[in-house]
Amino acid sequence: MAAVQKGARDTVPLRAQALGIDLAALPKHVAIIMDGNGRWARRNGLARLLGHREGYRALRGVLLTAAELGIKYLTVYAFSAENWRRPSDEVDGLMKLIEKAARDELRAMHQNNVRVNVSGRIDEVPAGLRNALESGVETTKDNTGITFTLAVNYGGRAEIVDAIKRIVQDGVKAEDISEELVQKYLYNPQHPDPDLMIRTAGEMRWSNFLIWQAAYAELVVTDVTWPEFGETQLLGAVKEYQRRTRKFGAVVE
């Protein structure tokens, strides 16, 4: 671990090093299930939608922290395919909130060299949200910093079903189908599989998120709700990740 120089500017990498994090062994791709917005709101006597709003405020800080730390890909579960089952007023509010956040944060993300990406059945979301997401992708497509993916109307099983449909439509023979081929038909085949999966609010479920890609991701669960999640928790998760020995099914002595 490199020594922290006296008088150096206090940055995220320096604070990470002070915690014993090896900057040369960071997870390349971090995925986050942002859970607990409603519980946070209830605990603070607020409406659930205000919890979601506070959660999106937290997301900006986590994204910028991850970018400064040196993580190359960050994917977050913003709205699942199953979330349509929630009360209609909450769903409508979430759609508007995601759209507003996408528009309001675009300038800051572009200035910070963030490349915006989306994952999910985007064609099924309201037109205003779809346009905001597509604008973010187009505006930042040439940026070279962290790739930030919003999973919206996303489901891991739905992604696999969509991949199978496209494989069939392309007339691929059964004997030519392999894991490598299926990977090419997923929503973002150019992204590396996530190394680290973080879930907030203490739930021990995968919740249909990146179930193909995260087959060998290291899972870190924290009891902290998403609106309370910040640099301290992100660095803690990275440090826990670095304690693990990744085996990928093999025996590691």
- Crossing angle of helices 88-111 and 127-139, rounded to 10°: 20
Residue type, 41: A
Residue whose structure tokens are 């937290």: 58
What does pTM read for this prediction? 0.93
Q: Which fold would CATH assign to domain 18-155+193-236?
A: Undecaprenyl pyrophosphate synthetase (3.40.1180)
Dist. CA 33–CA 155, nearest whole Å: 12
Residue type, 232: T
pLDDT tens-place values along the chain, 253 residues long: 344 444 446 899 999 999 999 999 999 999 999 999 999 999 999 999 999 999 999 999 999 999 999 999 999 999 999 999 999 999 999 999 999 999 999 999 999 999 999 999 999 999 999 999 999 999 999 999 999 999 999 999 999 999 999 999 999 999 999 999 999 999 999 999 999 999 999 999 999 999 999 999 999 999 999 999 999 999 999 999 999 987 776 666 6
> Please, are residues 160 and 212 in contact by the beta-carbon 8 Å criterion?
yes
* Enzyme catalytic residues: 35, 83
> Please, are residues 130 and 153 in contact by the beta-carbon 8 Å criterion?
no
Annotate 35-51 with b (16+ C-beta within 10 A) or e (fewer). bbbbbbbeeeeeebbbb
Q: What is the pLDDT of residues 26-79, one digit of tens each?
A: 999 999 999 999 999 999 999 999 999 999 999 999 999 999 999 999 999 999
